Structure 1
Amino acid sequence: MDTHKPQPTSGPAAPGSQPGGPTGPTVLADSTAMVVAVCVAFAALGAGVGWLVRLLAKWLVTLEHAPWQGPARLLTSIPEPWLTIGVLALGAVLGLAVALFGQHDELAVRVADDEVVLTRRAKPRAFPRAAVRLAFRDGKELVLLGQDTAELAREGCTLSVQRLAGAFREHGYDWADGDPYEDEFRRWVPDTPGLPIGANALFTARERALGKSGAAEDARELRGELARLGVVVRDRDKRQFWRLVP
């Protein structure tokens, strides 16, 4: 039996219970000014890297023996000012591309009276109000818990705690200052007893995914497989911790 009760921070009454009826949805995402600032900064950084590449190429061709002299000679064969213009422009474009990709990967949160929508990489995931028991920030992740205490979502999130808490409270959702099931998590080690059949194999595969660069999607999918077995997973410094859904 579930003896652990979440301790949500008190918020406003449920939507529709106050005069004026339901309120409009609240959308939380990086501001336009922030996006522009990041893009400008990365473009400038990319241009700076391009300038350094130009200087490095010109230095390499002066050496008698040095690596990358072939590409350096090819680069410096471009006449000025086109060489300088080209490396600065290319560096700026690459820096801008990195910034735009990073912004595309940021989480946007839409909180409405009837649902919560989390959008990352232009892929929205909607959670009906009745399914959401509690919301909170766990480190740098936004977590939504379902009525059975299972995690509906755990997403990396750079939005401020204050903005998130205010949005959820405004629309009548329970918001907690931390994970109410914190004490139930245990560190996973190979062949951990008490886990559902097949969970240890999934944890082993997920541990390998966490150790590889670019395997974040694999780790996410394996988290989903463990969730279907009733196991809640969270990561700390590439170590896996778990609790069972009551």
Structure 2
Amino acid sequence: MYQRNETVVSEPAWAVGLTWVGLPLAGAGAGWLLQALAGWLADLPWIPFKGPIELLASVADNEPLATIVSLAVGAVVGLVLAFIGAMETLRVAITDSDVTLRRGDAKQTVNRSDVRAVFVDGKQLVLLGRESEELAREGFDLGADRMRDGFLAHGYPWAAAGDPHRDEFRRWVPDDPELPGSADALLKARAKALEKGEKTDIAELRSELGKLGVVVRDESKRQYWRRTHPTSG
């Protein structure tokens, strides 16, 4: 029976377990501490969220209910944070035929035959296509060495020196006449999205620029761009 030879690069099991156990415990501890200090905090004139803290202080003497509730609420907050962290974590599954990048419910699969180069750009994993277009660019907190070893184990072209086209990028300035079509308008919209931290718009506008043959990378909310290298066949 055929078995799919797959290498998965993701958070180790111990780190996942620590997150799901540690954050609820830390949340419960924080909830208990807040309940214990509620009376003192409520007397501070400059304290934020004064209403909820005064409410907590008013029931602080109702033991053991106050302690039970504060522990439970803190643990739930910790679980919510653990869930958000899990949804934001990148999981990369690599085989000889394709690579699948999954983050939460979002999934992208790229065929091995379409990949011309793989590299790490800061804290981002980048896959380039045959025309130097970006097939994928995903932020990650996983070890770069593990990522490299996973791709090399399946024969992917790993660019150890980083982006082979890095010297082609130029800083975007509004109304650059060398930009094709509506690329300048897209970059203007994307600059606003970067300022506001709107991740969905940032990603969608990157995709739209890619359709115009423009690759964009960011440095401290500054945009740099280059053209792709169309091939004849």
* Cα offset, 1:25, TM superposition: 1.0
Q: 1:133 aligns with which of 92, 116, 119?
A: 116
Which structure features the higher share of helix residues? 2
1:243 pairs, out of 205, 209, 226, with 226
Question: Residues 26-80 of structure 1, C-alpha deviation per residue, up to 9 Å, x if partnerless?
Answer: 1111122111112333223322332343244312555799876654443234311
Letter in 1 for 2:14: A
**1:132-162 deviation per Cα after TM superposition (whole angstroms, max 9, x unaligned):** 1111111000000001110000000112111
Q: TM-score, normalised by structure 1?
A: 0.84
Flag the structure with more relative contact order, 1 or 2, with Cα contacts below 8 A and sequence separation at least 6: 1
Give the number of aligned pairs.
Answer: 225
Find the aligned partners of 1:150 and 1:23 in 2 and give their Cα distance.
28
Deviations 1:71-124 (CA, angstroms, capped at 9, x unpaired): 444323431121122112211211221122111111110110111111111222
Cα distance change, pair 66–175 in 1 and its aligned pair in 2 (3 A): closer
Structure 2 residue aligned with 1:50: 31
Aligned AA for 2:94? Answer: V
Compute the RMSD of aligned alpha carbons. Answer: 2.3
Q: What is residue 163 of structure 2 aligned with on the other side? A: 179
CA distance in structure 2 between the partners assigned to 1:169 and 1:65 by the alignment: 56
Distance 1:149 1:32, change over 3 A: same
DSSP 3-state at the match of 1:211: helix
User: Where has structure 1 moved over 3 Å in runs of 4 or more?
Assistant: 60-73
Deviation readout 1:177-210 (Å, 9 max, x if unpaired): 2111111111111112211111111011001111
Q: Which residue number in structure 2 is paired with residue 5 of structure 1?
A: none
Q: Which residue is 2:103 aligned to?
A: 120
Superposition pairs for residues 89-104 of structure 1, below 5 Å?
Answer: 89-104=72-87
2:19 to 32, 38, 46: 38
The 1:67/1:163 distance shift into structure 2, 3 A limit, reads closer
Task: Answer yes or no: is 1:192 the counterpart of 2:176.
Answer: yes
Change (3 A) 1:169 1:56: same
- Cα distance in 1 for residues equivalent to 2:126 and 2:34: 43
Q: 2:144, 2:217 → 1: CA distance?
A: 19
Q: Which residue of 1 aligns with 2:141?
A: 158
Specify whether residues 80 and 153 from structure 1 end up closer, same or farther in structure 2 by C-alpha distance, changes over 3 A only. same
Unaligned runs of 5+ in 2: none
Could you state the TM-score of these two structures normalised by the residue count of structure 2? Answer: 0.88
Gaps of at least 5 residues in structure 1 are: 1-20
How many angstroms apart in 2 are the aligned matches of 1:223 and 1:59?
50
